[in-house]
Chains A and B, each alone.
Chain A
Amino acid sequence: MLKQIHKALASNAQLSLGFASMLMFGIATVTPASADIKIGFQAPLTGPSATDGKSAQIAATMAVEDINAAGGVLGQKIELVTYDDQAKSDQAIFTANKLIGEDGVKLVVNGSYSASGRAAAPVFQKAGVVMISAYGVHPDITRAGDYMFRLVHLGPPQGAATALYVGKTLGIKKISTITMDNDYGQATMDGFLETSAKYGIEVLNKYSYSLKDRQFGSIVASVKRDNPDAVYATGYFFTAGPLVAQLRAAGITVPIIGSQAFDSEKFVEIAGPAAEGTYIMDSFDRDRKDESLQKFFAEFKSRAGYSPEGVAAVTYSAVKLMADGIKRANSADPEKVRDALAATKDFPMLEGNLNGFNSLHEILMPISVNVIKDSKFTPVGVITDLAAFAPPEK
C-alpha cells in the first residue's frame, strides 16, 4: 500500500504540494505559538452597578494595552478574559467556574463589588487561581485563602481611619452616622463605630438606608433633630448625591464626611452646590504630580466620557500589579505569582505607593482625604499612621 502512495505522490506534483502544505499546517496548529497569558476579569457590566463596572472595564483594558505596548510580560502578550457578573453572587460563581473550566485561566482580577468577590473567592482559592480584588471591601474575600489579594483598604480600616481623622484632625465630638446597608457600607461603618470612642467621638444616632433609596426625608429630619457637630455617611455616589443634597437643603450646615465610594465627579454633579465642603475618606488623589497618573487621567476621560475615579484607578493598578507579579515570579504559574505578589514591596499604584501586603494579603498604604472645594476634589490630608488602621493579620 505504501508503495502505491509513493507512486501516486511522485507522479502527481499537485498532490504532493497539497500534502506537504497540509502537513505543515497541521504541525503549525498543534505547536503552540508564543501563547498569550490570560488574565480573567469579572466586572458588573450590566445591572445597577454597571457604572462602576464600565469604569473598571475601561481601566483594565487600558492596563492590558499599556502592558502589551511595552512588550508584554516575559515576552508574551496579556489577554483579558472578561465576564459580566452583574455584581451578584450567583453570577460571580458562575463566571468564576467558566473562567476556570472553559478558559483555563489561572490569574484573575475581580473588578466588582464585595458580594461578587466574596462569592468568587472560595471558588478560585479551591482551584488554586490567584485573585486580586480591585475594590471589593468585604473581609471574607482575603479570608478565603492565600491565593487572594485585595488592592483596596478594607471597610473597617477605612472606618477606623475616618474615626481618627474626624476625632483628631477635625476635632468633632458629636456625630450622627448614616449607613448604607450593604456589605461595603456596613463594614466601613463598623470600623468607624468600633474606634470612635478612642478618639472621643460620641455617636448620637445611627441611621441606615438601602442601596435603592434616593429619598432620605426621615433620616434628614432626624439628623436635624440630633443637631450633631458633623455627619458621617457611607454610600455610593448615586445615594450620596441625593443624600448630601437633601441634608443641605434641610438647613444642615455641619461638615459631612463621606466614605470612599462618594469619590466621583457624578457625586458633585448630582449634589451641585450642596457638595461643597464634603470630606471624602480614602479618596483618590487626582492632583499627584505623577506622569503615569496624568496620562491615565487624560486617556480614560477620552474613552469613557467622564473622569476616572478610585474604581478605575485601582482596577488599572490591579492588572498592572498582576503583570508585575508574573514578571517577578518569572512565570505565569499561579503558585509562583502568588508568592511574588505576597512579597511586593513599594509598588507604584496610580493612587500612590503601595508599601506591601500584610500576612492576610491586605494592603499597607496611607489613606488620603479629599474635600470638595469649588466643585473640585482637593487633597486635604493623608493619614500615615498605618498602625491606627492596620488591617487584620492572618
Chain B
Amino acid sequence: MYYIDLAVTGIGFGCMYAMMSVGLTLVYGLLRILHVAHAAVFALGAYVTVLIANATSSIALGFVASIIVTPLFGMAIYRLLYEPLLKYRPDVPMIASVGLLVLMQDAFRIIFGEQGVTFRRNAFAFTTFNFAGVTVSAVQIAIVITATVVFLGLHIFTTRTRIGIGWRATVSRPQIAASFGIDPIKVRYLSFAIGSALAAAAGGLVALMNNLVDPGIGSVVSYKALAIIVLGGLGSVRGTFIASLVLGLVEAYGTIFIGGWLDRDAIAFLALIVLLMLRPQGFTGPRTA
C-alpha cells in the first residue's frame, strides 16, 4: 500500500509538471527560445485563481478567470518581449525572459504581499478518498484527470483538426506551411496561448493543493520545467509528458530512500543527469510537436 501511495504521489507530481512544462516545450519547438518567464505565467495563473475564487466564492470561476487572463499575459510576453528580439541570437530573448521572471516575482511580492494568498474556503485541499488503504486526495485526482484530458485533447487537436495540423506543419516547415496559407504569427500566438492556459491550470491546481500561493511559487517551475523539456526532447509534447511522469515518480520514491542526504531537487537533477547520459537526445529526441 505504501509503495502504491508513493506511486500515486509520483503520478500526481508528474501530471502537474507536465502541465507546467508543455508551454515551455511548445515555445522552444516553435521559436527556439527558452521561455524562462513561463514560471511567471504559472505564478500569475495561481494568483488569479485564488483571488477570483475568494472574490466570487467560487473556485470554478477562479479557474475560468485564470484560464482566460493568463494566456493574454503569455501572448503579451511574446508580442512585447520576444518578437522584437527574435532577430538576435536565442540567448538574447532568454536573458530578457529571465529578467522578466525576476521582475514579476518581486512584483507579485509587492502587489500581493510577502505572506502570500490563501483560499478563503477550500474544501478540496482537505478532501481525500481511501481506496483499499491508498489515500488519494481530491486535488490529485483533479490533476491527473486534467492532465490526461489535456494531453489527449492536444493529441487529437494536432492530428485531427485543420488548425492543429497546420500548427504542426508550421513548427516543422515554417516556409512551406506559410506557402500553404497558414499564418505563422497566428501559430505563435496559439502556442503561447495554449501553453499559458495549461500553466495557469497547473498553477490553480497547485494553489488548491497547498492552499497557499506565495511570490516564489514559480521558482521551482523555472528550472525544473527546463530540465523536463530537455529530458523529454526539446520541442516534443509527448516527450515532455513522459519526462514529467518519470521525474515525478523519481522524486516520490527518491525523497524517501535517499532524502536523508539529498534534497528533492538534487534527486531530480541527479536523475536527469543520469538519464541524459544514457540518452542525450531526450526520450523522444528533438522533434517538432
Contacts and interface: CB of A to CB of B under 8 A. Distances in A.
Interface of A: 46, 48, 50-51, 53-54, 181, 206-210, 212-215, 217-219, 221-222, 224-225, 238, 241-242, 245-246, 248-251, 266, 269-274, 306
A245 B210 CA distance: 8
Nearest to B133: A224
A181 B267 CA distance: 15
Interface in B113-131: 114-116, 118, 122, 125-128, 130
B162 to A, nearest CB: 40
A241 B125 CA distance: 11
24 contacts: A50-B114, A51-B114, A53-B114, A210-B263, A217-B9, A217-B13, A218-B9, A221-B9, A221-B135, A221-B256, A238-B116, A241-B118, A241-B211, A242-B210, A242-B211, A242-B212, A245-B125, A246-B137, A250-B135, A251-B128, A251-B130, A270-B212, A272-B211, A273-B126
B229 interface: no
A212 B219 contact: yes
A221 B5 contact: yes
Interface string B1-29: 11001101110110000000000000000
Contact of B126 (A46, A221, A274, A306): A274
B137 A208 contact: no
Given A238-B212, A245-B211, A218 B253 contact: yes
Nearest to B219: A212
B255 interface: yes
B253 A251 contact: no
Interface in B190-236: 206, 209-212, 214-217, 219-220
Contact of B259 (A207, A217, A245): A207
A214 B135 contact: no
A225 B2 contact: yes
The contact size tier of chain B is 35 or more
Contacts of B259: 207-209, 218-219
A306 B115 contact: yes
Contacts of B32: none
A53 to B, nearest CB: 8
B251 A269 contact: no
A177 B268 CA distance: 23
Nearest to B217: A214
A170 B5 CA distance: 30
Interface string B176-192: 00000000000000000
B130 A249 contact: no
B265 interface: yes
A245 B114 contact: no
Given A208-B260, A218-B256, A251 B211 contact: no
Given A46-B109, A208-B260, A218 B126 contact: no
Contacts of B40: none
A249 B137 CA distance: 7
Contacts of B118: 241, 266, 269-270
Contacts of A274: 126
Interface in B125-173: 125-128, 130, 135, 137
Given A206-B260, A218-B9, A222-B256, A46 B211 contact: no
A271 B211 contact: yes
B141 to A, nearest CB: 13
Contacts of B260: 206, 208
Contacts of B10: 217
B219 to A, nearest CB: 7
A216 to B, nearest CB: 9
Given A214-B210, A218-B255, A224-B5, 16 more contacts: A181-B263, A207-B256, A208-B259, A212-B216, A214-B217, A221-B2, A221-B5, A221-B135, A224-B135, A225-B2, A245-B125, A249-B126, A249-B128, A249-B135, A270-B212, A272-B126
Contacts of B219: 212
Given A249-B126, A251-B128, A270-B118, A241 B109 contact: no
B91 interface: no
Given A221-B5, A238-B116, A270-B211, A210 B265 contact: yes
B43 interface: no
Contact of A46 (B106, B115, B135, B253): B106
Nearest to A222: B256
A54 B128 contact: no
B47 to A, nearest CB: 15
